[in-house]
Amino acid sequence: MLTPKEHLDIFYDFKGADPDPKKKKDDIDKIIEDIHMGEKKNDLAMSLSGGYKRKLSVSLSLIGGSKLIIMDEPTASLDLTARR
């Protein structure tokens, strides 16, 4: 069972992003901050609410400098502040 931060770490490596550990940590921390998930970053992903799971799935698509992302209604089930 993994935390959102661990999921982001795995997807960062999977996408072949910059292998520098400092850059990796900075990118993961920035994504967590950008999606306002700081208080949940160390909780188990399976225990997150539906909205936080959606935030996690969006962040997994963004991590690692993706050049193109195609999503279908990525803001469905998110609170109003997260939609911005």
Query: Minimal CA–CA distance to 4: which of 71, 69, 49, 70?
Result: 49
- Segment 52-78, tens digit of pLDDT: 888 898 899 989 888 888 888 776 766
If pLDDT is split at 50, 70 and 90, which confidence band does 26 have? Answer: very high
Of 9-13, 21-25, 71-75, the poorest mean pLDDT is in 71-75
Query: What gap in Å lies between CA 29 and CA 33, rounded to an integer?
Result: 6
Which of the 8 DSSP states describes residue 35?
Answer: T
The tokens describing 73, both together, are 């209604």
- pLDDT tens, 36-52? 888 998 899 999 988 88
Residue 58 in tokens: 């969006």
Which whole number is the average pLDDT over 10-30?
91
Domain ranges of the chain: 4-62
Token pair listed for 15: 């996408």
pLDDT of 6: 93
